[in-house]
Amino acid sequence: MEGWLSLCLVALATLLAVWFLKLSGCKSKPKNRLPPGPWTLPIIGSLHHLVGALPHRTMMALSRRYGPLMLLRLGEVPAVAVSSAEAVALVMKTNDLTFSSRPSIPTMDILACGGKGIVFAPYGEHWRQMRKVCIMELLSSKQVKRMEGIRAELVGNLIRHIADTASTGAAVNISEKVTRLSNDVVTWAVFGSKFAQQGEYLRTLYDTLALLGGFHLIDFFPSSRLVRWLSNGEHNMKRRYSRVQRIIADIIEGRHEAKEAAGSGACNTNDDDMLDVLLRLQQEDALAFPLTTEIIGTVLFDIVGAATETTGRLLEWVMSELACHPEAMAKAQLEVRKVLGEDHRAVITNSDLAELHYMRMVIKEVLRDPKHWENPEQFKPERFENSKMDYMGTCSEFTPFGTGRRRCPGIQFSSSLTELTLANFLYHFDWMLPDGATPASFDMSEKFAFTVSRRYDLHLRAIPHVSLKSMPSK
C-alpha cells in the first residue's frame, strides 16, 4: 500500500491552485441531487475518513450515520456505498442495466486487458459473450460434475494430512490447509492437473490480489500527471500482469505441442479442462471477436483469482465461527454423522450432502450481511430454518454472490467445494480451540485485502472421530 505521504504531497501541491480559482470568482456548477455523505477536504475528498487498517468497518459506521445510499468522493472519483436491502434492490434489480457496467480504474484496466476479461469488463457485447462462455462451458454443471472425483480425492488427501498432524498432538493450521485445497481444486479445474509453473503462477496471483486490495493514488486521481509520476501502482501491476501472461503463454504452447505429438485423432471433449475449452473456442473462431492468448490468460486469471481467494476464506471463517460456538459445532456434527452413519469411513462425496440442511444454514449464517437481521451479532444458523433464501441473489437481504446481470457465475463450483470440505471436517474430526483459548478470548480480528480474511491464521486441534484406515489413499 502506498503511503499517505504521497497523498499529502499531491494535496499540498494543488491546494493553492484551488484557492486561487475560488478567489478569482469561478462559479461552481449547479449541483445534482446526490446522496448524503461525510464531510470532504479539498483535493482528497472523503479519503481521510478511510485511513486505517479496516476501511470496510469505517464505511459501515459511516453508512449508519449517512444512510443506505452514501456518497464518497475518493479523490476525483465519486462513489456511492449501498448498504440496505431496499437500496440493493433499487440498484441491482430495478436499475440493473444502468449499473451493470464497470468503471475505468487505471490499475484494474491493466489487469483486465483493457476490459476484455470478465470481472472488470464493461457491460457490452464482449462481456455478454464471455459470461455466456463461463456459464455454458467453463463453470457449467458439466464442469462441476467432471471435477467430482478430483474434489473427493483432494479433500481425502487433506483429511489424511490433518489426521497425521492430529496424531502428533499439534494444532492444525486450518487457514493454510483450506487455501492449499482451494488452490489445488481450482488449478485442476482450469489446467487439468498440477503444472510446472503452478507455484510461480499462484504466487503472482496472490501478489496481484494484494495489490488490488491496496491503495493506489493513480486510481483516485487518474487525470493527474503528477500522481502518475509519484505513484508506482501502474508499474507494479504491469509487471505482474506481464508475468501472468508469460506463464499462460508457456502453458498454451506446451498444450499445443502435446496435441501435435499425440496426432490429429478424435479427442474426447468430456474431459476438457477450462483451458482446453477456451483453446477449442479459439480454434473454432466461435465468438464475435478474436479470442487471443492474452484474453484467454485474462479470463483464466479472473476465474482462478475469484475462486481460490473466496472459497478458502469462507471455509476459514466458517471453521472460526464453529470453533467459537461449540453448540452450533455439535449440532452440525450430529446432523452429518446421523445422516451418513457411524460406519461411513470413506471420504464423503457430493452425493452424500443432500440432507445436510443445518450445515448449509451454518454457511449462510457466515455469509449474511449483519445489517438486515434481528440480533445481528449473534451467531445463530437457526435463523435460516424454513427460509427459502438461496445463493442466487433473489432476496435482497442475502446476496453473497451478488445479484442481477453481474452475479457470480461460479456459485455451483464454489458451493460444492465448500460443502464437501466442511462435511468431511465435521464428520471425521472433533474440533477444539488451541490450548488455553476460550471462545471469549479467541482472536477473531480480520484484515482488509481483496477479500476480508483473518488477521492471524486459524489454528485448531483436531481429534479423529473415526478411524481413517479404510479411506482410499492417493
Interstrand relation of 459-464 and 446-447 (parallel, antiparallel or unpaired) = unpaired
DSSP string over 91-139: IIIITTTTT-S----HHHHHHTTTTTSSTTPPSSHHHHHHHHHIIIIIT
| Amino acid occupying residue 12 | L
Residue 451 exposed, middle or buried by CB count within 10 Å (0-12, 13-18, 19+): middle
Residue 212 near residue 234, CB atoms below 8 Å: no
Q: Is 82 in a helix, a strand, or coil?
A: strand
166/115 Cα distance (integer angstroms)? 47
Q: Which residues contact 197 (CB under 8 A, 6 or more apart)?
A: 247, 250, 251
Residue positions forming the annotated binding site: 408
> Torsion over CA of 154, 159, 164 and 170, rounded to 10 degrees?
120
Residue 58 near residue 26, CB atoms below 8 Å: no
183/205 Cα distance (integer angstroms)? 11
**Residue 383: left if φ>0, alpha if ψ -120 to 50, beta else—which one?**
alpha
DSSP annotation of 442 reads: S
Residue 447 near residue 53, CB atoms below 8 Å: yes
Instruction: State the CB neighbour count (10 A cutoff) for residue 283.
Output: 9
Interstrand relation of 429-432 and 172-173 (parallel, antiparallel or unpaired) = unpaired
Look at the block and give the residue holding cell 456511492.
Answer: 80
User: What H or E segment, with its residue span, contains residue 322?
Assistant: helix 293-324
Q: Is 430 in a helix, a strand, or coil?
A: strand
Residue 332 near residue 423, CB atoms below 8 Å: no
Residue positions forming the annotated binding site for heme: 408
289/301 Cα distance (integer angstroms)? 19
